A = this chain, B = another copy of it.
């Protein structure tokens, strides 16, 4: 389900967090769907449960996840996501797009990529 790279400088919990967020964002994990338990995912990734726990907590703080004590963790509805993150993302979007344009990538090509996502909700 997730790819971990131990040689990556980014801490493991962050790789788990970003990987899970991506699964939610791309629709692989649907709204309301139950995620594997902390222990299950920890053993399937062969890492410490504390690391998974930390990733889940961070995602809950961002609003992507919703933990119910004794029942598990679930993908939250889109509406609950932290608004601060949207501004952050827009800033990253602008800077990335600006640099791509600078490097000669056609704006139309970027637009085509966005349309492709809207249609298929892929990657």
Interface residues of A (CB under 8 A from B): 6-7, 9, 21-22, 24-27, 61, 66-69, 74, 76, 78-79, 81-86, 89-90, 92-105, 107, 110-111, 113-115, 117-118, 121, 123
Find A95's partner among B6, B22, B104 (CB 8 Å cutoff).
Answer: B22
List the B residue with the shortest CB-CB distance to A92.
B96
Contacts known (A7-B76, A111-B111); A24 close to B102, Cβ less than 8 A: yes
- Provide the residues of chain B in CB contact with A26, threshold 8 Å: 98, 102
**Chief secondary structure at chain A's binding surface:** helix
Q: How far is the CA of A100 from the CA of B27 in the complex (A)?
A: 13
Report A7 CB to chain B, min CB distance, Å.
Answer: 4
